[in-house]
Amino acid sequence: MTHPIIAREGWLVLLAAFSAAILATVFLGAWSIPFWIWAVFALQFFRDPARVPPSDADAVISPADGRIVAVEKVRDSYLDRDALKISVFMNVFNVHSNKSPVDGEIKGLWYTPGSFVNADLDKASTENERNALWIQTARGDVTSVQIAGLIARRILCYVRVGDKLARGQRYGFIRFGSRVDIYLPTSARAEVSIGQKVTGGRTILARW
């Protein structure tokens, strides 16, 4: 199956945006510029380029494009364990499709309603609307958490308990500015630092 260049989650939005821009051009002339700005913004937001993950079996890859905002030892409340947490913040100019950081099987899934504070803040991990996946691998358990942001109002997840994911496989999407937290066993070694820009499906976040 050919990978879509534009995420399917944005097809209706883009149809509406470009239709409005064309109609505005016909009836409003130069006043249509704001409509075209919105249409171009929507086009770049919903882009979804294909990515080839690294072949290194020891690598845990980034689930999203963005910037690293946390690399720390914390308590993983989903699996009740100490863990290495690595967080990726996505702004509105990043690709927003989410990809599996590892090869594994979905053993648990938890959706938690919440608020919509800035996803760049640490409290977003515990206060915002979020959707967590427990991925069991041959190397250890991984928790991948999609977190809504200040503007984001829709978390989309397309997998269920029992599904198997390949590293780099697309499994969800978050609309308009958000965050993904990854919880790894404490034996994992981080390969990124705070402030570093990462590419979903490609950048190595940690190694087993």
| Coil, helix or strand at residue 168 | coil
- Two tokens, residue 196: 């570093």
Report how far apart, in Å, the C-alpha atoms of 12 and of each of 18, 42, 92 are: 10, 11, 18
Residue linked to tokens 């609309």 = 175
Report how far apart, in Å, the C-alpha atoms of 204 and of each of 7, 32, 140, 148 are: 23, 43, 17, 23
Burial of 73 (0-12, 13-18, 19+ CB in 10 A): exposed
Residue linked to tokens 């991984």 = 142
Out of 87, 178, 187, 193, the active site residue is 178
Q: Is 178 a catalytic residue?
A: yes
DSSP alpha helices (H): ranges in the chain?
Answer: 11-28, 33-45, 124-127
Active site positions, annotated:
178
